Amino acid sequence: MSGDIDPQRNATRPRIARAFAPGSVGNIGVGFDLLGHSIDGVRDIAIVRCIDEPVVRIAAIRGEVEGADTLPLQAERNTAGQALIALRDKLGLAHGFELELEKGIPLGSGLGGSAASCVAALVAANAVLDAPLAREALYDFALDGESVSSGSRHGDNVAPMLLGGVVMATATHMIPLDVPTWLHAVVVHPDQVLETRRARAVLADPYPLHVVVEQSAHLALFLTGLQRGDATLLREGLRDLLVEPRRAPLIPGFAEAKAAALDHDALGASISGAGPSTFAWFASRAQADAAAPAMQAAFASAGYGSRAYVTPVAGPRADVISAGAYA
């Protein structure tokens, strides 16, 4: 595919686009590096300009998120920059991209901040291509970008951001899953930072086979519950035996926040992504609204302030906010 900029291009395609990507709950407890769902209430924004120079350049990273000014401006060291480099290389584009990021997802929060930056950048860049790609075709580039932050290619954050809702993410496929409209989540982000690499390090030791088998049963119940819209099966399945026990000690207040959610009739609760954010699923919006303050109070008792997001489990997908002529 040629990326040459022809004289008529301004009349047919925008040269600048602004897009957002929502936060996400990675793993959903039982689906480590496999399942995720998008959430409403927190997002990153990317502005991408088509430029004649055949490079990817990050012009600015801003936002009120603590630490945003420490993120690398070198494209190859930034999740969004690397995603756009992969896009350029694969398509053989003659032109390049200039990128600005507006960070809204806290760093090290377990809400998919690094993934959101690269997905927002890809969606914006796709909008300025002469021949935009299907949403599914952006997945591989998003995995390239996400690997800069996590050190591995896993799609449990980028896939639900690209498609919305609950998604099963393998190395080669994004598979959207049925989600009952009544399912709601509470996602609480305590004022803590837990780096993904540290959270993954505690998973290095092997697991006994019987634990893996039991976890597989939970995953099967969970997926069947989603497909059938069966709250009882979801409650039986949403129990993580693999990751949560090893990561919970890294998150002060987690055990109490989970207990508060279960006391308010949560279908299940666990760690969002690598943590420290904690999520819980509920069978109604009213239950979720009632549980959120209790979960926050649990973190407060441990000495941490927090922010709570109540969201449909079938959350939004990344999308273009605006697109227009090159300024």
Please enumerate in sequence order all residues whose Cβ is within 8 A of that of 118, keeping only pairs 6 or more positions apart, or say none. Answer: 79, 80, 82, 83, 141, 142, 145, 146, 158
3-class DSSP assignment, residue 303 = coil
pTM here is: 0.93
Per-residue pLDDT of the chain (327 residues; tens, 9 = 90+): 333 334 344 456 789 999 999 999 999 999 999 999 999 999 999 999 999 999 999 999 999 899 999 999 999 999 999 999 999 999 999 999 999 999 999 999 999 999 999 999 999 999 999 999 999 999 999 999 999 987 778 899 999 999 999 999 999 999 999 999 999 999 999 999 888 788 889 999 999 999 999 999 999 999 999 999 999 999 999 999 999 999 999 999 999 999 999 999 999 999 999 999 999 999 999 999 999 999 999 999 999 999 999 999 999 999 999 988 743
Distance of alpha carbon 124 from alpha carbon 47, whole angstroms? 7
Identify the H or E element spanning 245: helix 244-247
Distance of alpha carbon 95 from alpha carbon 292, whole angstroms? 47
**323 burial via Cβ count (<10 Å: 0-12, 13-18, 19+):** middle
Residues 125-164 as b or e (16 or more Cβ within 10 Å = b):
bbbbbbeebebeebbbbbbbbbbbbbeeebbbbbbbbbbb
